[in-house]
Structure 1
Amino acid sequence: MRPAPGEVLHFSEDPDIRMFRPHVSVSSGSWEELVWAVDAERAPDYWFPRQCPRAMVWLRPSSSRGDRQRLIGDGGGHRVHAIEYGWLSRFLEVELYAYRLPAGPFRPFGADGHALVARERVEPLGKPLPVGNLLALHRRAGIQLRLYDNLWPFWDAAVDSSLGHSAIRMRNARPRPQPARRSGPPHAPTAIS
């Protein structure tokens, strides 16, 4: 589910949006009223229930072999998406829709242009398209889908890698694991002279 030339997409669980009006997105870090969309390259970032936390990595020309092996592995493909087990049933059951929007009013947003924004109202080019089975969509696109008890260790590894990476709705992920406590007596303080 990717946009055709001259189009961008907006993914939603609401099948009845008639007009996209600029609004403030609290999670974007911008207080400007905007309409949000994505291009073909970043469309897979939104093949999820809206509130589902997800961490994603993909190959870039500058990615090291070690990082590829560590985070993508031999499972094939060039991209990995990860969610938590607690979101799996919602991922499998959600009814997601793709709205086709004209690309003309949209401009890249953010340092890496990961999203596209318009500052004016935008009318969809037609009825929204049902996205269908998200698991099958990932498979057809060659994207590995992984399940974790907790996303934070995967995300921390992604941030410290040479791979492209993005995370969405991490505020909805399980809390970051606490470091393991050491067993045994604490170390004696070191004397400073």
Structure 2
Amino acid sequence: MRPDPGEVLHFSEDPTIERFVPHVAPTSRKSEPYVWAVGADRCPDYWFPRACPRALAWTGPGTTAEDAVRIIGAGCGDRVHAIEYGWLRPMLETRLYAYRLPADGFAPIGDPPHAVVSTVPVTPLGPPEPVGDLVELHERAGIQVRLLDSLWPFWEEVIGSSLEFSGIRMRNARR
């Protein structure tokens, strides 16, 4: 599930949103109200239940072959998404929806950018689309899903490597 040209996506478990109004997300480090969305490159970061902690790693221009093999694995593609065993059932059962939003009015946020934001209300381009089986979505995209007892040892390896990475909802990970 990726946006078409001129679109960005917002993923939600709520299929009833008719209009997105800027707000300060409880988890945001920013105090400005935004409508959050993502472009095609960051969509896979959100193919999960909302509260699911996840450690994401992928190869980039500065990634060494040694780090790619050590963390992602030989012959395992160029991206791995790790979750904890306790999140497998929610991953299999969650009904996730994608809202297509007009890309006009959204600006990149983060350094490097990891999302796009709007400071004005946004109306979806149409009804939300069911994303479908989240594990199958990863499989079709060639993204490895790894199940771990705890994300923290993996996360420490990832952030100390030459891989590019993102950690989402890590506060919900087991200690």
| TM-score scaled by length of structure 1 | 0.89
Counterpart secondary structure, 1:36: strand
Aligned to 2:43: 43
Aligned to 1:63: 63
Q: Distance in 2 between matches of 1:162 and 1:26?
A: 30
Segments of 4+ moved more than 4 angstroms: none
Q: Which has the higher contact order (CA 8 A, sep 6+)?
A: 2
Tell whether 2:170 aligns with 1:170.
yes
Q: Distance in 1 between matches of 2:84 and 2:165?
A: 17
Note the C-alpha offset of 1:61: 1.4
Counterpart secondary structure, 2:146: strand
Q: Distance in 1 between matches of 2:104 and 2:78?
A: 30
Aligned to 1:120: 120
Note the C-alpha offset of 1:75: 4.1
The C-alpha deviation readout for 1:79-129, integer Å capped at 9, x for no partner, is 000000001000000000000000001001111110100000000000000
Counterpart secondary structure, 1:76: coil
Q: Distance in 2 between matches of 1:127 and 1:75?
A: 39
Note the C-alpha offset of 1:76: 2.2
Aligned to 1:135: 135
Are the counterparts in 2 of residues 58 and 164 from structure 1 also a CA contact under 8 Å?
A: yes
Tell whether 2:123 aligns with 1:86.
no
Counterpart secondary structure, 1:26: coil
Note the C-alpha offset of 1:28: 2.2
Note the C-alpha offset of 1:25: 1.3
Runs (5+) with no aligned partner, structure 2: none
Q: Distance in 1 between matches of 2:105 and 2:158?
A: 32
Q: Distance in 2 between matches of 1:60 and 1:151?
A: 21
Note the C-alpha offset of 1:44: 0.1
Note the C-alpha offset of 1:78: 0.9
Runs (5+) with no aligned partner, structure 1: 176-193
Note the C-alpha offset of 1:77: 1.3
Are the counterparts in 2 of residues 6 and 102 from structure 1 also a CA contact under 8 Å?
A: yes
How many pairs are equivalent? 175
Are the counterparts in 2 of residues 75 and 144 from structure 1 also a CA contact under 8 Å?
A: no
The C-alpha deviation readout for 1:124-183, integer Å capped at 9, x for no partner, is 0000000000010000000000000000011111100111000100111101xxxxxxxx
Counterpart secondary structure, 2:158: helix
Q: Distance in 1 between matches of 2:95 and 2:55?
A: 21
Aligned to 1:54: 54
Which of the pair has more CA radius of gyration? 1
Tell whether 2:27 aligns with 1:27.
yes
- What amino acid is the match of 1:19? R
Aligned to 1:5: 5
Tell whether 2:116 aligns with 1:111.
no
Q: Distance in 2 between matches of 1:87 and 1:47?
A: 13
Aligned to 2:153: 153
**Identical-pair percentage:** 61
